Amino acid sequence: MRRILIVGNWKMNKTATEAAAFVHNVARRLPASPTVEYVLAPPFTAIESVRATLGSSSTIQLGAQNLFWEDRGAYTGEISAPMLKDLGCRYVIIGHSERRTLFGEREDAIQKKLHAAFTHELRPILCIGESLLQREEGKTEEVLRQQLHGALAGHSLHSVTALTIAYEPVWAIGTGKAATTDQAVAAHRTIRAFLAQMWSTDVAEATRILYGGSVTPHNIDTLLRSDQIDGALIGGACLQADAFVTIADIAQSIGARQ
């Protein structure tokens, strides 16, 4: 069974104080669910205040938006996996398209970050997705396979059990123009086929594949109705408490994948 995973990626939004107020409002409105997991990924500076506000028994889990692959040392400005673990993070987003395009993150860095996450038992959410030009040129499948190969080659079967993949077409992120369910499903099938080929059908069936890019309370239902879409990585809509709660409610009404 694949539990639905709803991940809020706050990007560079909310101070520690604003983040605490948000989760104070939202946490009590999200009942525990056997079929849905919720994760919030605040900026590093707000992780501690979110953790303190949620307390130890919350239904919302903590994630980070990035990490650096070394554990410690002279890497000014970076944050390591042990630091995130110590703050109570369970998940970490890796290879988001904004990191790739704005900060020049390349495959070798993404591979090392995944390795660090696996080593420290953080669950990585690996983001991949094609640009508009790549889609228009009919290269979507090829790009997804290249990105998967670039990030995952060299990782053992044992480690990938904790992996989640987020399909996020670059043209859909923050644009208000989400992929259609058919487009997302086609990409998810490509990803699952790659995982089956690289490891096994069991791994492919067990790995959660999320969709991300302009997900809102209005389109989440249609997306999650497909059993190929195991959840969502959500930016803008997760900054508003009511929208986050509505999305969570809809996810709960749908349930898990068999």
CA torsion 238→8→143→170, rounded to 10°?
20
Rounded CA separation 195/193 (Å): 5
Under DSSP, the state recorded for 214 is: S
**Active-site option among 37, 96, 98, 105:** 96
Min dist CB 38 to ligand PGA, Å, is 15
Residue 122 or 179 with smaller CB distance to ligand PGA = 179
Give the separation between CA 147 and CA 159, rounded to whole angstroms: 18
Q: Between residues 161 and 181, which has the closer beta carbon with respect to ligand PGA?
A: 181
Considering the candidates 98, 105, 130, 168, report the single residue annotated as catalytic.
Answer: 168
Q: Are 3 and 256 in contact (CB under 8 A)?
A: yes
Closer to ligand PGA by Cβ: residue 199 or 243: 243
Whichever of 20 and 237 has its CB closer to ligand PGA, that residue is: 237
168 belongs to the catalytic site: yes
Q: How far is the CB of 198 from ligand PGA (least distance, A)?
A: 24
Determine contact, residues 167/188, Cβ cutoff 8 Å: yes
Residue ranges that bind ligand PGA, judged by CB under 6 A: 9, 168, 173-174, 212-215, 233-237
User: Which residue has its beta carbon closest to ligand PGA?
Assistant: 235
CB atoms within 10 A of CB 141: 17
Task: Write down the least CB distance from residue 41 to ligand PGA, Å.
Answer: 9
The token duo for 126 is: 């690996």
Q: Which residues are catalytic?
A: 96, 168
